[in-house]
Structure 1
Amino acid sequence: MKEESESFIDTLKYQFLCCYPLHCIDWDAIPKGLTWEQHKQLIENTALQPLNKKYPIKISYQLNFLKRLLQQLEKHCDEVHDIVYESYCAVQQRVAKDTTEKYAYKHYVQPSLDVSITLRESKSFVAEGTTGLCSWQASIALADYLVQNIKLLRGKCVLELGAGTGLCGTIALQCCGVRHMLLTDGSHECIELMKENVLRNFREASEVNDGEYEIKGKLLNLCKLEWGSVSDMKWPNGFSADVILAADVVYDDTVFDSLTNAINYVFKIRDDKCEMLLAATVRNEHTLNKFLNLLSTLDFQYIEKDVMPLDKCNFYWDRTTPVKIFQITRKS
């Protein structure tokens, strides 16, 4: 019973810190008969967790999370520890002030990988004219796939298109032995946010030039790249893409021509000696197929890869809408 309770508390901590959607949390898995000390542990591992106190996640999420937690504890326990009610009231008092805040944090923690990543991101899906200022589920899914297949990136130069907050690239750089990472986005605001997130997560990073960092012998560059102007891109010294990454970039068919142009250009300058890993949230099957068909007209081929199942994943993301991952290469 004790092991079951500790496992549940740990799982809930990681889900809370990354703002895992409340409807995805298995609230029925809460162990019956939790002790008062375990009630306290639940709060100390979520609302009062040191990461959340230093870099708080969305207040609205915290409030709704604690409300659901209270409901479950009141249903299954004779009494609920005062700290749970006190935490709920404390968060409730912060709601009005929080409405003026445009940004909050998310934390992706996985002790088995020695990973703890804190990202500042927009609380809105669309901000500053871009959707890239917050993390999306396909980016987390791709990161999870990469850490389970480290050999795909080990010792290689990796280019990410539409990197947004830098989530996927940051995890890959930490876990996958990447030699040189180039994170790009068409939004200046995304590049500035990535810089902030890089410096927060890589304390040992040494800035060689503007947007260029050395991290324990590895190189990281952050560059603005508009897909339609990829031929004007000034590539970092010594960078030659072995692998291209992209996540949640195929939801808008009006950008497909410029996106495929960018992909085609990078493959050409590498004499097709590279590959691409694309993760797509399947909101509209027709839109995804339109993009894949466009790739086919440029002599690309693709293979769908297995997404990590929930019971084997390292990070949590909303699986309500399916995510697909494709390995893309040029036909020989």
Structure 2
Amino acid sequence: MEHSEKDQTAEDQRRVKKTDILRSFQVSFFAMSRLASLPWTFLEEDLRSNKSSELVSDILKQTCLHSLCRKFPPSGRYRRLFLSELIRQEAADGEPLDELYDALAEVVGAEDCTECYKSYILPCGDAVSLLENVALISEGTTGLVTWEAALYLAEWALDHQQTFLGRTVLELGSGVGLTGITICRSCSPNRFIFSDCHTTVLQKLRDNVQLNGLTEQLCPAVRVEQLDWTTVTEEQIKRVRADTVIAADVVYDPDIIESLVKLLSKIMRCSSAEVLPEILICSTIRNPETYSGFKQQLEKAGIGHRVITGPVSHVFPYNRISSIEMIKLYR
């Protein structure tokens, strides 16, 4: 009886582990994470110990054969490399599945484009799917891809939904829309205003907002607006009446810091003395000198800040070695 219970416990543990591994493959595949970061070691061990293609088949169903891949496929090149690695892994311990070769045949001739879909799986199982540029910098802007601080801020929002619940939220420098769409889908804001100034970024942002069912027809409380930090008026800011202001990865260029700080000063000045909006700025610190300069300009403008600490739930796959800091501003 004791052996039977131990065997059952071991089997239960393996089943839970397998579920976690399948989710890890799925989440990483749709976000187009570096292939080396996927849990190939577990697959190797499973193939050696079980001599079965069951796990490979399950991985295939959760990635290339999943309905999300049919609707919003990662780039053809990424899928080719992913399937080639799956075939290599299984070939080491047996004959690869026909479905693997069929799936590879579908993408062998796929044209490599400058854009691709990335999908970020939410805890509820839904996905935020975005059309992003393959290149990190294109058309003179970095705003056509999702950066680490946007992912971190989205994770923080999922852990602190009360910050956005029933509120009017203004996002500065929304980029392709990951953070804002996540908040709209999961945190129930009363209104949400996406904003950016680059024409191409704004068009892609509008496309992604619509892609995720947040069209102004279906969700009139969601808007996408052009907001030029250098020319925005106090009247425009007053019309928004934001309770919460957020921004991710906007402190990267010394040339725009002055206009950003002036904008933040205007936002605070346009608020009532009793109720200031909650202003949250999340930054990947790539250049400590630039980031320090931003904080110094905040201080000169009479704006204080405190660093928000504490762990966040790991929802999205990204490089967590990067130094990311989130601050809350106050007057």
Fold conserved between structures, TM > 0.5: yes
Larger strand share, 1 or 2: 1
Per the alignment, residue 118 of structure 2 pairs with 106
Per the alignment, residue 257 of structure 2 pairs with 256
Q: Which residue of 302, 307, 323 corresponds with 2:305? A: 302
Does structure 2 conserve the Cα–Cα contact (< 8 Å) formed by 1:132 and 1:164? yes
Q: Which amino acid aligns with 1:49?
A: H
Provide the C-alpha distance between the structure 2 equivalents of 1:46 and 1:307, rounded to a whole number of angstroms: 33
Deviates most, 300-309 or 39-48 = 300-309
Per the alignment, residue 17 of structure 2 pairs with 4
Does structure 2 conserve the Cα–Cα contact (< 8 Å) formed by 1:307 and 1:325? no
Per the alignment, residue 180 of structure 2 pairs with 169
Provide the C-alpha distance between the structure 2 equivalents of 1:38 and 1:27, rounded to a whole number of angstroms: 11
Per the alignment, residue 61 of structure 2 pairs with 44
Provide the C-alpha distance between the structure 2 equivalents of 1:119 and 1:322, rounded to a whole number of angstroms: 25
Per the alignment, residue 325 of structure 1 pairs with 326
Tell me the CA shift for residue 259 of structure 1: 1.0
Tell me the CA shift for residue 206 of structure 1: 4.4
Q: Deviations over 1:58-112 (max 9, x none)?
A: 222222333333444445x344323224433443332xx22xx2211111122x4
Tell me the CA shift for residue 257 of structure 1: 0.6
Tell me the CA shift for residue 8 of structure 1: 0.7
TM-score (norm 2): 0.86
Per the alignment, residue 87 of structure 1 pairs with 103
Per the alignment, residue 37 of structure 2 pairs with 24
Q: Which residue of 151, 166, 174 corresponds with 2:162? A: 151
Change (3 A) 1:49 1:306: farther
CA RMSD in angstroms comes to: 2.3
Tell me the CA shift for residue 323 of structure 1: 1.7
Aligned residues: 312
Q: Which amino acid aligns with 2:232?
A: V
Structure 1 residue runs without a partner (length 5+): 208-213
SS class of match (2:232): helix
TM-score (norm 1): 0.86
Q: 1:59 and 2:62 equivalent?
A: no
Provide the C-alpha distance between the structure 1 equivalents of 2:149 and 2:225, rounded to a whole number of angstroms: 22
Dislocated runs of 4+, deviation >4 Å: none
Q: Which residue of 226, 229, 232 corresponds with 1:227? A: 229
Provide the C-alpha distance between the structure 2 equivalents of 1:235 and 1:265, rounded to a whole number of angstroms: 8
Tell me the CA shift for residue 226 of structure 1: 1.2
